[in-house]
Amino acid sequence: MMFERDSGFTLVEFMISSLLSIIVLAIAGGILVAGLRTQETTGSVTTAANTAQQIVRSVQSGVKNASAITVTSNGVTGTQLLLVRTVSSDPSSTSPSCQAWYYTPLNGGAVYTTKTTPASVITLPVGGPQGIWTILGTGVSPADPVTGKVFNAPSGGRVELKFDVAAGAHPYVLINTVTYNSQSMAVSSPCF
């Protein structure tokens, strides 16, 4: 006597198909999680790179037009002040302006800028930037552990920028650049 087989899955066939489905879902889930992590890292690095570029462009613009440059540091607090005297960007005026960039290691490190027109003295802020300072970026720290400086002006017409910007799970974005000014430099009033 022959038995006809009922249509449908046996328990073994069902278990094998379930196991294959779980393997496929685990692989797809792993790919999705890896993609999301990569996207997050890419976003953090992009934000850090944009912050770094904003700081560099601001400093380069000021240094290129400078008639005097100086850097003041406070070894105790780790703060720095890069100060330049520039001629006004207004073509009808030749009056000088003073522009400064302030680095503080407080709250994860930050760089601020300010400009005074007509020119007036800008000093290293005590207790952090107040009032007229505009933040350029946060997550900034000196890249050179020996000097601990973000700004360095070894000669009157050259400014070195060497700093890291925090990038989330990625270690950091490193900036190491030099900006030059071909004008003769003389530190004097009204900015200094």
Count of C-beta atoms within a 10 Å radius of residue 17: 11
pLDDT value of residue 185: 65
pLDDT of residue 87: 74
Query: Does 172 reside within a domain?
Result: yes
For position 95, what pLDDT does the model report? 77
| Cα distance between the two ends of the chain | 110
172: nearest Cα among 131, 144, 148, 139: 139
Indicate whether 191 belongs to any domain: no
Residue 94 has pLDDT above 60, yes or no: yes
DSSP state of 48: H
Structural domain boundaries, residue 92? 37-180
pLDDT for res 151: 93
Those residues whose C-beta lies under 8 Å from the C-beta of residue 51, and which sit 6 or more positions away, are: 136, 137, 138, 139, 140, 165, 173
Over 90: is that where the pLDDT of 191 sits?
no
Q: What is the structure's pLDDT at 4?
A: 62
124-157, pLDDT tens digit by residue? 787 778 778 999 999 999 998 788 899 998 876 7
- Residue 77 placed within a domain: yes
pLDDT digits (tens, 9 = 90+) for 36-49: 888 887 888 898 99
Domain-embedded: residue 82: yes
Tracing tokens 């560099």 back to the chain, one arrives at 56
Predicted confidence (pLDDT) per residue in 105-130, tens digit: 998 999 999 998 888 888 878 777 87
- Residue 172 near residue 164 (C-beta atoms within 8 A): yes
Q: Is residue 16 part of a domain?
A: no
| pLDDT tens for each residue of 42-83 | 888 898 999 999 999 999 988 888 888 889 888 888 999 999
Q: How much is the average pLDDT of 94-98?
A: 82
| Structure confidence at residue 28 as a pLDDT band (50, 70, 90) | very high
Instruction: Indicate the pTM of the whole model.
Output: 0.78
The tally of domains found in the chain comes to 1
Is position 91 within any domain? yes
